[in-house]
């Protein structure tokens, strides 16, 4: 279960990074929604498996649970914002807002990803 969770989390990192920087470089298109969505699903599956693994092993770093769920919620919000921005192409305000918050949410998610890696390595 741990190996699967690590694979899903790394897939989430790959797809989420691809979506954020591709949309930033080329502009947000509907194809980015698919990439964002795959990243979000991978993040959910990885987070769920990590939580189950932690419960089974008695390893529950409370600080990372809060950070992890907050970043998952941020990623879901980011996906919804991307969805709205892609669907209403004429709404320049939504697109500007998307690109303005995109790196902030991505950085927050990346901090949670790295803190989970550190927590896993030190076993806390």
Over residues 26-81, the pLDDT tens digits come to 777 788 889 989 999 999 999 888 888 878 877 766 777 788 888 889 889 888 88
Over residues 5-39, the pLDDT tens digits come to 889 999 999 999 998 888 878 777 788 889 989 99
The tokens for 69 are: 């769920």
Exposed/middle/buried for 78, CB within 10 Å: 0-12, 13-18, 19+? Answer: buried
Backbone angles phi, psi at 36, to 5 degrees: -60, -45
| Residue 89 pLDDT | 65
d(CA 120, CA 48): 15
**Cα 102 to Cα 43, 62, 71, 86, distances in angstroms:** 17, 27, 13, 14
Kindly list the domain boundaries of the chain, sorted by start residue.
Answer: 2-122
């Amino acid at each position: 279960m741990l190996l699967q969770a690590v694979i899903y989390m790394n897939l989430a990192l790959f797809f989420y990074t691809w979506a954020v920087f591709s949309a930033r470089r080329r502009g947000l298109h509907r194809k980015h929604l698919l990439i964002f969505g795959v990243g979000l699903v991978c993040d959910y599956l990885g987070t769920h498996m990590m939580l189950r693994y932690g419960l089974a092993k008695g390893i529950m770093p409370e600080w990372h649970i809060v950070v992890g769920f907050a970043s998952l919620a941020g990623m879901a919000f980011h996906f919804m914002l991307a969805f709205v921005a892609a669907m209403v192409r004429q709404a320049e305000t939504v697109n500007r807002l998307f690109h303005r918050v995109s790196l902030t949410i991505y950085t927050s998610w990346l901090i949670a990803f790295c803190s989970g890696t550190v927590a896993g390595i030190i076993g806390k």
